[in-house]
């Protein structure tokens, strides 16, 4: 018989004294792969401790006041033809000057939807001003701006792919909603060199949501499945404790390295025994692999040899995919900020993020706003980044944003691109059952350490 997972509920309150639970240096030196980890910043000295403590209490008091009042003050997005100005960022208008715009509600593939009497092309800067249904099998655009009153909603009746440099949500809505018979959707960020003249802080090549709504809900799927037996080297099947939801042929899974490592096996001496496989078939609680396992994956045992804890297998496939066209080229990123209404469920973020665990090297400006240095490792360009995300309302007991059942897959190659999910000065969110593989530093990072009231829920 299968046993039901018991979720571990972690209410993360302001904690200025928190230490790293995962040492980033371990991955940087040894190429260790993280499947699920959380980290908070180290406080280096007394002055910094006092500063962070003061900031933490200030944010905590403000958060409590907003929670009691029941609303988050609405700050309209301020944009000019050249940039959008946020409290913490000034972001270029990649979607302007427009070369094509919607003139009525309609299908992306219909020429009558557009002012140019044709569908958007690969280098177009597209303005979405109406309700547009995305229905192209392999559509292209240079940049897209979804304005207030506009919406880009993916048609789920057929498989679709949209390739862009940058997609900006600027008051409108971007969405995919799973339904019976829904077909997959891919959002692909083109491998286009960054233009550090017009974009010195390197925001481009990604999904940038600054105002409005992002609702992407793929087909529900079990992210983690606990094994019923220890899989041995040579095994071609995995027996799970219960039948997983919606695991399908060709799904990509990982079986973790569960060894207790000796001193010489850590750091630069670490050689991973995590294994990547695809599913050949699934029948009830038995999953058949495309190739035999190379290693034994032990469970946790008592002193008498009784297995108490069995490993979890994680599934990294989803029906909605956001990915970089070339992981070795200009990688995309997802940046969600301010008062965006965010709901991400069962989405795969594949080969995304540009910031690495090497020392940060940010673009700098003088007092007149002129660039004095172009950064080579810009902070904040992560696979999935909730950046000063405050949502649209603060209703007691209701999360301000949802990040549920997603997968962040860093691919197979060893790399230093850091953090699967970054929660930065974003509060009262629900982060639940997300599978994270092969990212550097931490799986889930609460970046300031003063993020308040977030629930991080994982099966255990």
* Beta strand residue intervals within 374-411, DSSP E: 384-389, 401-404, 407-409
Cα 53 → chain centroid: 28
For every residue of 118-176, which 3-state class applies, written as one string?
Answer: CCCCCCCEEEECCEEEECCCCEECCEEEEECCCEEEECCCCCEEEEECEEEEEEEEEEE
pLDDT for the residue 220: 98
Please state, in angstroms and as integers, the Cα–Cα distance from residue 380 to each residue in 249, 304, 425, following that order: 35, 48, 12
pLDDT for the residue 14: 31
HSE value, Cβ hemisphere, 13 Å, CA-based, for 138: 1
Task: Please state the pTM of the whole predicted model.
Answer: 0.85
From the list 377, 429, 420, the residue with the least C-alpha distance to 398 is 429
Name 128's bridge partners: 146
> Residue 451 is encoded by which pair of tokens?
């993020």
Helix (H, G, I), strand (E, B) or coil at 30: helix
Q: CA-based angle 313:318:324, to the nearest 5?
A: 110
From the list 40, 24, 8, the residue with the least C-alpha distance to 451 is 40
Residue 177 near residue 194 (C-beta atoms within 8 A): no
> Residue 244 is encoded by which pair of tokens?
């997983």
CA 190 to CA 329: how far, in whole Å?
9
Helix (H, G, I), strand (E, B) or coil at 210: strand
Residue pointed to by tokens 């050689």: 271
From the list 250, 254, 187, 242, the residue with the least C-alpha distance to 218 is 187
| Annotated domain spans of the chain | 78-94+165-221+319-459, 225-313
Residue 426 near residue 401 (C-beta atoms within 8 A): yes
pLDDT for the residue 77: 87
From the list 405, 451, 404, 459, the residue with the least C-alpha distance to 428 is 451
Cis preceding linkage at 97, omega within 30: yes
pLDDT for the residue 66: 45
Strands 7-12 and 454-459: antiparallel
pLDDT tens digits in sequence order for the chain, 460 residues long: 333 322 323 333 333 223 222 222 222 233 333 444 444 333 334 444 444 444 445 444 544 444 443 444 455 689 999 999 999 999 999 999 999 999 999 999 999 999 999 999 999 999 999 999 999 999 999 999 999 999 999 999 999 999 999 999 999 999 999 999 999 999 999 999 999 999 999 999 999 999 999 999 999 999 999 999 999 999 999 999 999 999 999 999 999 999 999 999 998 899 999 999 999 999 999 999 999 999 999 999 999 999 999 999 999 999 999 999 999 999 999 999 999 999 999 999 999 999 999 999 999 999 999 999 999 999 999 999 999 999 887 677 789 999 999 999 999 999 999 999 999 999 999 999 999 999 999 999 999 999 988 888 876 6
CA 414 to CA 38: how far, in whole Å?
20
Please state, in angstroms and as integers, the Cα–Cα distance from residue 298 to each residue in 223, 240, 259, 263, following that order: 20, 14, 7, 19
pLDDT for the residue 391: 86
Residue 409 near residue 34 (C-beta atoms within 8 A): no
pLDDT for the residue 75: 58
Name 6's bridge partners: none
Q: Which residues contact 50 (CB under 8 A, 6 or more apart)?
A: none
pLDDT for the residue 457: 82
Strands 160-164 and 185-189: parallel
Name 239's bridge partners: 286
**DSSP per-residue codes, 84-118:** EE-SS-EEE-TT-S-SEEB-SSEETT-GGGBTTSS
């Amino acid at each position: 018989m299968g046993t039901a997972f018991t979720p571990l509920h972690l209410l993360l309150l302001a904690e200025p004294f928190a230490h790293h639970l995962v040492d980033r240096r371990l991955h940087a030196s040894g190429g260790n792969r993280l499947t699920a980890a959380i980290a908070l910043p180290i406080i280096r000295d007394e002055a910094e401790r006092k500063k962070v403590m003061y900031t933490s209490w200030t944010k905590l008091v403000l958060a409590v006041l907003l929670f009691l009042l029941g609303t988050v003050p609405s700050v309209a997005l301020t944009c000019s033809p050249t940039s959008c100005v946020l409290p913490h960022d000034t972001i270029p208008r990649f979607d302007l000057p427009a070369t094509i715009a919607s003139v009525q509600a309609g299908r992306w593939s219909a020429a009558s939807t557009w002012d140019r009497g044709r569908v958007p092309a690969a280098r177009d800067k597209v303005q979405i001003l109406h309700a547009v249904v995305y229905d192209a099998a392999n559509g292209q655009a240079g940049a897209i701006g979804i304005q207030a009153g506009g919406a880009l909603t993916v048609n789920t009746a057929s498989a679709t792919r949209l390739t862009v440099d940058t997609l900006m949500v600027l008051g409108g809505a971007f969405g995919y909603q799973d339904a019976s018979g829904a077909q997959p959707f891919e959002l692909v960020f083109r491998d286009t060199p960054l233009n550090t003249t017009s974009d010195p802080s390197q925001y481009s090549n990604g999904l940038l949501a600054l105002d409005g709504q992002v609702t992407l809900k793929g087909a529900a799927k079990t992210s983690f499945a606990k094994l019923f037996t220890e899989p041995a080297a040579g095994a071609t099947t995995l027996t799970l404790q219960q039948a997983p939801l919606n695991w399908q042929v060709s799904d990509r899974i990982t079986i973790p390295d569960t060894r207790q490592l000796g001193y010489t096996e850590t750091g630069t001496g670490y050689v991973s025994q995590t294994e990547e496989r695809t599913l050949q078939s699934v029948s009830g609680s038995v999953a058949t692999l495309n190739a035999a396992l190379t290693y034994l994956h032990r469970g946790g045992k008592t002193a008498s040899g009784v297995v108490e804890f069995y490993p979890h297998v994680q599934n990294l496939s989803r029906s909605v995919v956001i990915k970089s066209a070339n992981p070795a080229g200009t990688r995309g990123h997802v940046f969600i900020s301010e008062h965006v209404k965010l709901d991400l469920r069962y989405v795969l973020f594949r080969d995304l993020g540009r910031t690495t665990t090497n020392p940060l090297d940010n673009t700098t400006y003088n007092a007149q706003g002129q660039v004095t240095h172009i950064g080579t490792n810009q902070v904040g360009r992560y696979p999935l980044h909730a950046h000063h995300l405050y949502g649209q309302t603060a209703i007691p007991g209701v999360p301000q944003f949802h990040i549920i059942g997603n997968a962040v897959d860093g691919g197979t190659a060893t790399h230093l691109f850091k953090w699967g999910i970054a929660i930065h000065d974003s509060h009262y969110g629900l982060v639940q059952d997300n599978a994270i593989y092969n990212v550097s530093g931490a799986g889930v990072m609460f970046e300031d350490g003063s993020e308040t009231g977030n629930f991080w829920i994982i099966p255990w």
